[in-house]
Amino acid sequence: MQGSYSFSDFSDHVSGTHNGVPFTTGLKVKNLWDINFGVGFQATVPNDIRLYIGSYFYYSEAKASLAANIPGLRFETTNVTIKNKTNGGGYTGVDVPLARGFHLNVEGQYSERFSVGVAVTYSY
């Protein structure tokens, strides 16, 4: 289980188009926090290959506002609460030892969409 809260506010310049009209303004994000919880299982098979699988649940929230009012845009200048579209997901992966401390790790995750990553690591 893990949680975090950002004591700092964040701001940046954003630009885009709304109804065909270009705009540039500032975006401010404050009260950013999240909490997550996960459970995983792992098994070592022959040749020290580790297989793992698990699920996780999370919730994130922040307040966002634009510096200028852009009529018809959801944010306008008031605080809008930003939340996750989904609150859970799952993952699975394999860790394969290579030569001399190197490992190959392949992991897939699913929440709103499926994603996959590959890493080669070295332990000394």
CB 21: neighbour CB atoms within 10 A? 10
**pTM score, whole prediction:** 0.64
How is the chain split among helix, strand and coil, in percent rounded to 5?
A: 0, 70, 25
Residue 8 and residue 19 in contact, taking contact as beta carbons nearer than 8 Å = no
Residue-wise pLDDT tens digits, 42-100:
999 999 999 999 999 988 888 888 877 776 666 655 667 777 778 899 999 999 999 88
Q: Which among 1-10, 17-26, 69-78 has the top mean pLDDT?
A: 1-10
- Select the more confidently predicted residue: 43 or 10: 43
Tokens at 27, concatenated: 């975006």
Average pLDDT over residues 12-19: 84
